[in-house]
Amino acid sequence: MTRHHIALIPGDGIGAEVLPPAQQVLDAVGARHGIDFTYATYDWSCERYLREGAMMPADGLGQLRDKDAILLGAVGYPGVPDHVSLWGLLIPIRRGFRQYVNLRPIRVFEGVDSPLRAAAPGGVDGGVEFVVVRENVEGEYSEIGGRLNRGTPEELAVQEAVFTRAGVTRVLDFAFGLAARRGGTLTSATKSNGIVHTLPFWDELVAERAAVHPGVAWDQEHIDALAAKFVLDPARFDVVVASNLFGDILSDLAAAVAGSIGIAPAANLNPERDFPSMFEPVHGSAPDIAGQGIANPLGAIWSAAMMLDHLGHPEAAKDVTDAIAAVLAKTDVRTPDLGGGATTSEFTGKLLDLL
Ligand code: NAD
Ligand code: IPM
Ligand code: MN
């Protein structure tokens, strides 16, 4: 029996609605594969912020430090400014635990209607199955900058982006390594035609790392053209590496191309494993549907599968992704974002039956 101690941070809105399904799936698949999960649940959220003035306690990272992994729902809720909730919890965890890779797979599943006519299911010829490798701790997400002359006609805001040789190199090496393992190609998202310092530097480093990984075919695309190609020809992509902001935008776009942002998972990886990694759906707390019990749990469940893989249980992870594929291909039970009428718990129950 293998044991894993997991930190659960349900968070706000539908974050707290999709995490229990992920936990149910973990327990079910764990029982079959001889994996014993124990959990520590944290109420860190906007609700806590309104009550106690902070999203998490001062030693929050210290409390997570000894866990094998972190599973998070989502944070952010009306009434608390987004920069407060995110810079008070999500971003400190990603940075503090050096989770510099944000791995976001995309797959068109059989049985899910992509809004694109041409998008065939992943796994068949011409099918859509790729992964966005998002730089997760630097780049455009920075606290450097400021605002001047508030409320005057001369008001201005300045926001700096920080790209370091070490930070870009390590995420590029991860992406090239992943492309090599998949036997695929790498596409780098850039904007070196419009942004004159950071992205030309990014491009130079891509060329440098490509020379170190000569077996991987690669190219680069400007982010504007790349966004269009995600829609026009998503099947051509395999590994797409992008800066923090570009990767954020591309991963929601890719999720929508694959049928719903409710399906898409993310792994915030600390590849050196000197800190816990964090797994969370790509989507947010969705205040517009929170409290109705209709959130799609698949993004959280697929994130739990990525956690299983990271913890050394690829067969258990595959059982979970196979169950996701089966519930979509073999049944018409699904949540409203996928055109169905099922609740979160009905959809989860059907998936558990097939697991
Ligand atoms: P969102 O992802 O919460 O919602 C965007 C749209 O997608 C909404 O219409 C929502 O109903 C729908 N949607 C998202 N997940 C779904 C699911 N599982 N099932 C069905 N429909 C789903 O993005 P937003 O509206 O930009 O952000 C809402 C809040 O969440 C903000 O406070 C934002 O900062 C926060 N947020 C947090 C995270 C995180 O914690 N990782 C990620 C993204 C956004
Ligand atoms: C995500 C989210 C976060 C991000 C926000 C909420 C700060 O959109 O995880 O994709 O941009 O990283
Ligand atoms: Mn996002």
Domains of the chain, each with CATH number or no CATH: 1-104+261-355 (3.40.718.10), 114-258 (3.40.718.10)
Q: From the CA of 263, which ligand is nearest? A: 1
Run means of pLDDT, 10 residues per run, the chain, 355 residues: 96 98 98 97 97 97 98 96 95 98 96 79 85 98 97 98 98 98 97 96 98 97 97 94 98 95 98 98 98 98 98 98 97 97 98 97
DSSP designation for 234: G
Residue nearest to atom 9 of ligand 2 (CA): 282
List the structure tokens of 2: 């293998």
In this predicted structure, what is the pLDDT of residue 120?
A: 85
**12 CB within 6 A, ligand 2:** no
253 CA from centroid of ligand 2 (Å): 13
Residue nearest to atom 5 of ligand 2 (CA): 86
In this predicted structure, what is the pLDDT of residue 118?
A: 64
What are 206-214's contacts with CB under 8 Å, separation 24+? 206/172, 206/241, 208/169, 209/169, 209/172, 209/173, 209/176, 210/176, 210/186, 212/173, 212/176, 213/173, 213/176, 213/177, 213/179, 213/180
Q: Angle, to 10 degrees, between the axis of helix 298-310 and the axis of helix 15-33?
A: 40
Ligand 1 atom showing the smallest separation from residue 288 Cα: 11
3-class secondary structure, 215: coil
* CA-CA-CA-CA torsion sign (78, 83, 84, 89): positive
334 CA from centroid of ligand 2 (Å): 25
Q: What is the ipTM of this complex?
A: 0.98
In this predicted structure, what is the pLDDT of residue 22?
A: 98
C-alpha span between 167 and 215 (Å, rounded): 23
**298 CB within 6 A, ligand 2:** no
